[in-house]
Structure formats: C-alpha cells, structure tokens
C-alpha cells in the first residue's frame, strides 16, 4: 500500500511538499487573518460589532448579510479547492511519469478552481468546507481544520443514549456521502466535469469498493500516526539521553526544553504535510486502479515534460520569497504587540482558578449540597450553580426549569412552592445511595460557602415568570456580605442589566455559547464566561487589556483544559475538578516538558 502510494508521488514529490509547506505558512500568517478580517468587515458593514446567540438570529436573517456571507463562503471555498486541486494535478503529472513546474500546476489549479463560481458547482463549497473537514479524513484543505462541535454539546449528546445513536447515524450518513464522492475532485480537476457530473462518476467508480477503500484509507492514516508518534518518542528519548550525559551543565536544561518544543513543532508540521500528501496520493492510486480495473478511459491533464533542475536564479527567487514571508510574519507579530493584540503576561497562568460545574457533578447529584461539599474536598476554587425562582418567590438551586430529569417528577419551577419542591428526591437519578438529596435554597448554599471559604458562580436562569428575580438574588448576597466572594452570571444580557440597576458594584459575568467580535462593548458584563471553542488568543488579550477576566466552559478533557491554560483564561469551568487542578498545577510549577523528562527518567 505504501509502495503504490510512493509511486504515485513519483517525480513531483518535492513539488507537492513545497506547495503544501508554502500554502500552510501563507494560510497561517496571511489568509486566515485575511478571511477573519473579511468576516469582521461583513459585520461592520451591517452594523454589528459583536455576535452572540442573542443577536446572531437577527444577523443571519439580514438579506445583505446573507449575500455577503455567500460571497465570503465562495471565496473560502475557492481557496480550499485550489489547495486540493494543486495536489491532484501534481499527482496526475507523476502518474504520467512527468515532472511539472510548480507554477504550471498552480496555474492550472487556479483556473479550474474558478469554475466554483458557476452556479452548477456551488455544492462544492459545502463539500470542501464542511463535509470533508467534519469527518477529519485528512483530505480537506489545510485552510479548514476539523469542524469541532462545542464540548458542552457533545457532553450533552453522549449523556443521552438516544442522541448518541442519532449523532452516530448522522456521522455514518456523512461518511457514506463522502465515501461515494471520494474521487469527485479527480473528475472535477482532471476531466473538467461539473461537480454534479463528478459526483455521479465517483459514485459509479467506487461502487462495490466503498467499505474496502474506506478501511484502506483509515489504515493509511493509522500507519502515518504510528510513524509520527514513534518519531516523536525516539526524538525526545535522544534529547533526554543527551540531557543525562551533560546533566552537570545546568544551563543546558532550558536549551534542551526549547529543543524539544522546536522538535515537536517541526515534527507536527511535517506530519501535517505528509498526512495530506500521502492520503491524496493513496486516493489517487485507488482512482487510477479502479479506472484500469473497469477499463474506464483515463484522462490526464496536458503536461509538458519539464524535468529540469532549478537554476540558481530560481533558487534565489524561492529564498527571497521565504524571506519576504518571514518579514511579513514578523511585521504582523510586531504590529500585534504594539496594538496589544498579544498578551505576554505569563502571570495570568499563575492566577488561574478552577470552577466545579454544578458542583462535583461527576461524582454527586448536580446542584446539591453533597455536590458542593464534594467540590470543596476535591480542591475546587469556585462552585458554579444555577438558580431559579419558585411560585412562592423562593430562590432555589436548579439547572432545569422542569424537575423531571433530576427528580422524575414532571413539575416546573415557577408552578410549585418551595415546600412542594423540598419533598422531591434530587439524588436517586445519580445513584440510589444519594436517595433523599434535596434541591437546596440559594440562601443555604451561601451560608455554607461563607462558612467554608468557597466562592460561588451564581447563574440566573430566568423563565419569564419571575418577579424581582435579580433583586432577590442581589439582596441575598448582600444580606450575608457575600459580594466579594461571588459573581452573578447569566446567558441573558438583560438579566445583567437588571442586576446592575439593583447594585452596580455586584460583579456580573455574561455567559456566552457564541462570542465573536468586540464583546468588550457589552459594558454591563464585568467578566465573560465563554464556551471554550469560541475563545481565541486575540479575544483573551483584548478582554485582559480591558482589565476584565475570561472564563472557559465547560472543559472536561486534557486537551481542552491545556488549551485554556495556553490561552491564559482566568478560570476553567469543568466537571473534572481533579484533572483541572492537576493540569493548572503543572502549568504553575514548570514546563510540561520537564515533567516528560522526569517520567522518562524513571525508565532509563
């Protein structure tokens, strides 16, 4: 399998690698910022400085926005299609045993990609921007990373068996569609067919081979991943051995840590490039093989045999190009520093705190006293809880407006008195050993938190049936002099405005599932609590530069928590308190690479 793939790469291997390397660099330092700024321009033209779930509906129903977004997606689709097309054309030249000048391949791909703008090919945008990346097959453009479903949504899906099955079926349907269209890019670029014709031809060619080809592609990805991991481990082992040989020279430790980081970065870049290159080479191999097996005519692109070595002038041109790219990248970085787009204050990591989402909800029934006590025992800095108002104007702690999920009783919070609610069993749904656990009052939780030096993140969940909801919560906080040990949060910005009307000194936090643009203009929010996938380095820097804090929620994986640490958020909201505290402690106590050294040291 690897042998056939290598043969397809043939004479144009260097050109493929060069193109992918340059394309990835240009994408990172120029085109991703360019496309982001284009989207921001769309927002500016239509009068939006930020986007949240509260205003995105109105934004997307604006006819001008729809037209501008369509143009934006077409440009994005063209750029991604151009990436894929150039690789397909280079590989086709190799299949003919001819070397093609990179500029010729780029030129052909550019002109063929322009056909995307014909209405009959608009479907290509969905294919290259959403379907391929969503399945993470490694066959998408390097511009579009895998689409990530926000973690709080996947957690909710995985916690519900029915939704999990539906989500799995959805992925299988997408995989089936992408599998049928696997060779559509080859037909599109090599045979000048429309996207519709390309899909039909691909479906016909792959008939009876879908499962077999899919398994082969997955196996190829697995092999590449194994090689990458082995190379990374061997490289780090060699560096550690070098460290042991020269252990007496303490200054080398920092140097070796830097070498490991640089080595890992280079290896990841190489893997990224080779993954795309080898996978498309393998798909091309399957394309030509099926064509030959079915005696279908193979149509190649017209290539002049240009098997010539680079002249000195061409090499000089390449060097100057890379030099120019370097200067542009450095200029962009320095400009970002001058305009405070980057936050270099490492002390943010030192002050990072961990919040227990609904208490220690993995081990105990959520939003109950046992969950809050458990969170303290696990070392959480904060406890996040949700509050609602009952029929008799009591403030209770509950996430859902209806109690059926956690108590089995179909009853809404605003339709019942606290006397009725206090009789419900909020623990058995988690485990029988928690039978009899009650839905607590906010007042009782504040008393406990004050006695136990625990800070509270109090999220208000309005139902539309409340009276003086915000005032009641603020009055409770002030009654126990708890203002300095809590924040009042909500996903409804109007709630924060109401809180500030009652007491402008109460710290408010806007909870956002979606955040884009200059959200710091939302001045009734002292801080921001943002779903992790929406958080960017620029956003963190901008919020910190305003003297405000940013929380990341709900992050439950090592990868996700480490991402929040690297982005320098102030507070990580998680269900896994132990993991969160452990990773934050590692970030405070030293570089992770040092921990790798210590771990490997035990076995050497």
Q: Where are the beta strands (DSSP E) in 58-99?
A: none
Residue 576, SS3 per DSSP = coil
Distance CA 170, CA 153 (A): 15
Q: Between the CA of residue 114 and those of 101, 187, 189, what are the distances in Å?
A: 20, 15, 11
The closest of 498, 477, 495 to 486, measured between CA atoms, is: 477
For 343, the 3-state DSSP assignment is coil
227 vs 142: CA distance, rounded Å: 21
CA angle 201, 206, 212 (to 5 degrees): 165
From CA 113, how far away is CA 89, in angstroms rounded?
Answer: 12
Active-site residues, by number, are 357, 399
Contact status, residue 438 vs residue 403, Cβ threshold 8 Å:
no
Please give the Cα distance from 140 to 132 (Å, whole number).
Answer: 6
Closest CA to 88 of 272, 269, 282, 218: 282
Distances (CA, A) of 372 to 382, 430, 540: 9, 15, 29
Phi, psi of 528 (to 5 degrees): -135, 135
Q: 192: left (phi > 0), else alpha (psi -120 to 50), else beta?
A: left
Alpha-carbon gap, residue 240 to 236, rounded angstroms = 6
Tokens of 117: 């703008």
| C-beta of residue 247 within 8 angstroms of C-beta of residue 601 | no
CA distance 12 to 106: 13
Q: Which residue has the tokens 């081979």?
A: 209
Beta-strand pair 571-574/353-357: parallel
Token pair 């996207």 is found at 195
CB-based contacts of 452: which residues, under 8 Å, 6+ apart?
Answer: 376
Residue 486 sits at φ, ψ, to 5 deg, of -150, 165
What pairs with residue 527 in β-bridges? Answer: 509
Distance CA 191, CA 298 (A): 9
Closest CA to 150 of 580, 406, 512, 569: 512
- The answer to whether 82 and 287 have CB atoms below 8 angstroms apart is no
Cα separation, 66 vs 113, whole angstroms:
23
Q: Are 387 and 396 in contact (CB under 8 A)?
A: yes
């Amino acid at each position: 399998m690897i042998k056939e793939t290598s043969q397809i790469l043939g004479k144009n291997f260097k050109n493929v690698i060069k193109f992918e390397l340059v394309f990835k660099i240009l994408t990172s330092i120029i085109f991703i910022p360019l496309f982001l700024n284009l989207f921001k321009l769309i927002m500016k033209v239509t009068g939006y400085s930020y986007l949240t779930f509260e205003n995105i509906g109105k934004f997307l129903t604006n006819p001008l926005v729809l037209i501008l977004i369509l143009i934006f997606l077409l440009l994005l689709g063209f750029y991604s299609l151009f990436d894929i097309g150039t690789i397909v054309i280079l590989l086709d030249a190799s299949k003919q045993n001819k070397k093609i000048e990179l500029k010729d391949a780029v030129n052909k791909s550019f002109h063929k990609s322009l056909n995307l703008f014909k209405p009959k090919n608009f479907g290509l945008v969905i294919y290259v921007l959403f379907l391929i990346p969503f399945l993470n097959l490694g066959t998408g453009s390097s511009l579009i990373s895998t689409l990530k479903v926000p973690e709080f949504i996947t957690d909710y899906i995985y916690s519900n068996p029915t939704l999990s099955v539906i989500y799995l079926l959805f992925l299988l349907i997408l995989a089936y569609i992408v599998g049928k269209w696997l060779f559509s890019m080859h037909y599109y670029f090599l045979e000048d067919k429309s996207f519709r014709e390309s899909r039909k031809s691909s479906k016909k060619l792959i008939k009876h081979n879908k499962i077999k080809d899919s398994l082969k592609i997955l196996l190829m990805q697995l092999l590449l991943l194994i090689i990458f991991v082995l190379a990374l481990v061997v490289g780090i082992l060699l560096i550690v051995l070098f460290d042991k040989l020269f252990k007496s020279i303490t200054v080398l430790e920092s140097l070796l840590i830097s070498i490991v980081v640089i080595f890992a970065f280079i290896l990841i870049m190489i893997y990224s490039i080779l993954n795309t290159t080898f996978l498309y080479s393998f798909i091309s191999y399957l394309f030509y093989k099926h064509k030959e097996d079915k005696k279908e005519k193979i149509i190649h692109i017209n290539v002049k045999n240009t098997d010539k070595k680079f002249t000195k002038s061409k090499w000089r041109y390449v060097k100057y190009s890379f030099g120019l790219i370097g200067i542009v990248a450095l200029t962009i970085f320095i400009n970002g520093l001058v305009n405070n787009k980057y936050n270099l204050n490492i002390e943010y990591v030192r002050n990072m705190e961990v919040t227990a989402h609904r208490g220690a909800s993995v081990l105990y029934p959520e939003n109950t006293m046992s969950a809050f006590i458990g969170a303290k025992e696990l070392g959480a800095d904060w406890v996040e809880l949700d509050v609602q108002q009952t029929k008799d104007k009591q403030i209770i702690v509950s996430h859902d407006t209806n109690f059926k999920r956690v108590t089995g009783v179909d009853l809404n919070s605003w339709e019942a008195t606290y006397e009725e609610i206090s009789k419900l069993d909020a623990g058995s749904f988690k485990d029988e050993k928690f039978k009899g656990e009650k839905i607590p009052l906010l007042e009782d939780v504040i008393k406990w938190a004050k006695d136990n030096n625990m800070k509270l993140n109090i999220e208000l969940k309005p139902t539309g049936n409340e009276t003086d909801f915000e005032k009641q919560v603020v009055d409770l906080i002030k009654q126990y002099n708890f203002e300095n040990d809590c924040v009042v949060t909500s996903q409804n910005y109007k709630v924060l405005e109401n809180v500030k009307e009652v007491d402008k000194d109460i710290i408010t936090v806007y909870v956002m599932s979606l955040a884009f643009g200059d959200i710091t203009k939302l001045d009734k929010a002292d801080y921001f609590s943002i779903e992790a996938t929406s958080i960017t380095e620029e956003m963190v820097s901008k919020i910190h530069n305003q003297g405000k804090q940013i929380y990341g929620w709900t992050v439950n994986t090592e990868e996700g928590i480490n991402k929040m640490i690297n982005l320098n958020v102030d507070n990580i909201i998680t269900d896994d308190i132990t993991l969160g505290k452990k990773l934050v402690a590692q970030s405070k106590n030293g570089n992770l690479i040092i921990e790798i050294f210590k771990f490997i040291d035990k076995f050497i």
